Structure 1
Amino acid sequence: MNSVDPNEQKLRRALTTPLLTLYGLGVTVGAGIYVLVGATADIAGPFAALSFVVAALVVSLTALSYAELATRFPVSAGEAAYVEAGFRKNWMAVFVGLAVAASGVISASAVAIGAASYLHALTGFAIPILTISVVLIMGLIALWGITESVFIAAVITIIEIAGLLFVIGWGMSIQDPQGYGISSMLPPLELDAWRGIFAASLLAFFAFVGFEDMANVAEEVKDPVRTIPKAILLTLVLATVLYLGTSMTVLLVVPIDVLSTSAAPLALVFSNAPEVIKQGFSAVAIVATVNGVLIQMIMASRVIYGLADRDHLPKVLAIVPKSTQTPVVATLLVVAIIVLLTQTIPIGTLAERTSQIVLGVFVLVNISLIQLKMQPDEAAKHFRVPIVVPILGVITSALLFGSGFL
């Protein structure tokens, strides 16, 4: 096994707690919440908002495992490094690293097509041309530098969050809401109600996928032992509060029969708003999807760089020019694959499998932490969680993984 020395890193440690938190929120609070509220309402009815809370509790277990592992091994290709240390098998590290990179590339491809579809509605340009343009522009930003690219992603994330806060503010100000009253969103102690909540929480879980991307920029984080756990927990808490507020607002304002069949549920809050507000919110939705392309691109390129830097992939992929201090060759490869996927493969089926790839990785990462915790810990200072956390992380992730095949 190749040892990991954080002092040998070539990437620039530039990310602070606010920047890393905004990076995490940029992945987590993205297209998911903009489309998932309707689907969760279709399953859980008036109790859909609670399904996001259940999902957050499940996700928090694996998030805490990531917080410890990312401070033990603050390097790129985080999951690969964790699995390599836990299982002591190089092939497993390569498999997990490539799975994580694949999930990022597939997700970015699907999101790029979505962004192009929104843009097509506004501009009338052909979707293939718009898709390639989105990918290339985001690729140039990713090549520019980690501080610059994450700063741009952070600005977009703030716009994205402002859009959700606007939904909540506008919805709460509507005089005659057509949905459920707040009191009817609290479930009774009945099996059927909770069965619906737990079924919807499997869907809501996918709105939280993204926090693990923070582990893959760990090599570019200032003071990772203090910064990473704070940023991961802040991301989850803020995302949960936003999801709860947004879903409750939509359930309050929009009739359930309309909401449960809509692919753009948040836009329904503005159905009686002036045209300028409708168009403004559409622009925010486009920005939200474009942000997902940039952040997944950054993540996938860092995983490939990290694998190459530890001799698991060709060394050329670990080249980092001093001018940008970003993995240029790895980023160009990621951009090329995304362009190819968007133009040649129906991305829907692949995108559905992205979440299952992530859950499979979660299981292996939690098992790795259990194995590491059963060995003597010679590390200096790092964040620690009780061993019950990764054990519960394995169980919950495995249950969610299996449910996807039912």
Structure 2
Amino acid sequence: MSETLLPDNATPLELAFSATTNETDRLGPVFEQVPIYDFTPPPRMLPWLVWQYGLGELSPYLPNLYDLIAEGVRWQRIRGTHASIFMGLGWLGYSGRIEEEPTWRRRWNRFQVELDRVRDRDLPDLQRIDGIVSLSPPVRSIFSRGYAGYDIRAFITSKSRASGAIYSDHSGVTLPSIGAKWSFGRAYDFERQLTEAELTALDAWVPPVPEGGLWVDDDNLWVEEDFLWAVPGIQARRDAITAAVVAYRPWLRFDNAQGDPIGYRRALIHPVAVSATGEYEVAGAKWTTLTSAPTAMILRGRTGFGDGAGQTAASVSIVFGGGPVAGLKSGLLWLAPDQFSGGVALSGTPVSIPFGLTVRERCTFLLTF
């Protein structure tokens, strides 16, 4: 009789039952001749090993079955931890930081992931990220949002500032068949010196005065001067140009590689001056809004989620004035090419902006003269 694993106090009935059901004597020699395929399985065995290990749910994220078996088993051992989420994101070429909801929230089991970069494509990247991240955490946890570059949080009474929050929910949009919300953003900064021709077209050109700012050095005609006597000439010129330019309603026009407009986005413009605590940071310096003695202007526009989705902008231009054609609401922030009319357009600045459903693109111009 084959060696039994029963304890010493086993009864005769138990020993007899073990002996009659033990197939080791008959199958043991044959089993020893079967090669172990787990380490170097032939291709025909791979689907069966995937089924045996229960790795079918991971196959959309690791289509190479050899990688799936090697990595999937490791992932299963740590599933339900932060490490499993990071491992899954690594398969897709991303990494991130996990943020869990505070315990005092009603939906305390939700969590967000701050990705290390903006997603490459809306689809299929976000489907894959949502799928692998949703499979990795504990059963009680729910993946609610992914973001990078643009993160505005919901307003919480007594816990956040209303000026930097959204009253309804965190920033972002959802896509069909994907459970999580997505919020991405990119920023593009440009320096632009307005030329005499451009300022003339805007009816904002004022001839320059010497740097010293002395009236005795000014050789312009009196009929051309509109400076205040109490303000130095060079600053008075800046004030006059700035006031004339910011009086316009500015727009950003995005053109494709063929030079055709993709759309227009409403922008804002402010007179600014350098400040160590300024709210804008462009060209290696901080700038703050200043109406009394500005030295430049900041013009900024940010597209909305889905504006121009599927197209790529090759240049962005500033358009002063203009707006919706007759019959459209005046408060629209994004206009298609056939919905915009009028305005004075400046020459375009080369860019490469791939518009998407989940990304807001921010363009900031530092305008000097």
Q: TM-score by structure 1 length?
A: 0.18
Higher relative contact order (CA 8 A, sep 6+): 1
Larger gyration radius, structure 1 or structure 2: 2
